[in-house]
Structure 1
């Protein structure tokens, strides 16, 4: 069974509940056929900007960063990695994109979780595959396709 460590590291308003965050992660893991442990950290803009600069050489805040575990498979540990999400950016995007805030949070949690499962969007084929799975997972949660907006 998935073990999800939720960390709230900011003082944001209107965050999803820990139960919601865990449910969205577990739903994505199940759809991807994966199980294991991960950390989901809700941060502020400063923290995610620092991480984005350090690891992606991009000096701006972003909505979500995923850091897949690099532990050797021989250890037999099921550590998937870490997801860092910026509450400020996600809230702002929901308003700018005219999306329900919880729906956008669900999408970003699912997106970050799928990255830990090996999905990516570097090229068009990978992006189409990842977006199709995200859309399918969101539909099971009663959330409309976010890419049609």
Structure 2
């Protein structure tokens, strides 16, 4: 099994972020149920970038917890590139606080399950 994660952290305050190994573990546990090889980019962003992307791609004038950009493989191309996930750190932190749950339990692969397997 070969699951490649490109983790991009584009926030000034990277405290309280799960480690790259946490993301890799969550990804492997989830993807291995569907396929043996894959590549995914996860980009952790601030509210400003999330807001802009959410507006540009969904017409929503606010930041959001996660945006997914699945990659559609052209016919005849053999690549297991799943696409990109853009996660807003502040929104995830705010949601965890509102839901009174530990922050680390709000990060795991729920966003992947919802955005790439449905």
TM-score by length of 2: 0.90
Greater share of residues in strand: 2
Q: Helix, strand or coil: the match of 1:5?
A: strand
Greater share of residues in helix: 1
Q: How many residues were matched structurally?
A: 115
Alignment counterpart, residue 86 of structure 2, candidates 84, 87, 90: 84
Post-superposition CA distance 1:75-121 (Å, at most 9, x none): 11111000000000001111111011000011xx332355224x1xx
Q: Does the 8 A contact of 1:8 with 1:41 survive in 2?
A: yes
Q: Does the 8 A contact of 1:25 with 1:113 survive in 2?
A: no
* Regions of 4+ moved over 6 Å: none
TM-score by length of 1: 0.72
| Pairing of 1:1-149 with structure 2 (within 5 A) | 1-12=2-13, 13-31=15-33, 33-34=34-35, 35-106=37-108, 109-117=109-117, 119=118
Shift of 1:74: 1.5
Structure 1: which 5+ residue stretches go unaligned?
A: 120-149
Q: Relative contact order (alpha carbons < 8 A, sep ≥ 6): 1 or 2 greater?
A: 2
Structure 2: which 5+ residue stretches go unaligned?
A: none
Distance in structure 2 (CA, Å) of the matches to 1:40 and 1:113: 14
Distance in structure 2 (CA, Å) of the matches to 1:25 and 1:97: 24
Shift of 1:58: 0.4
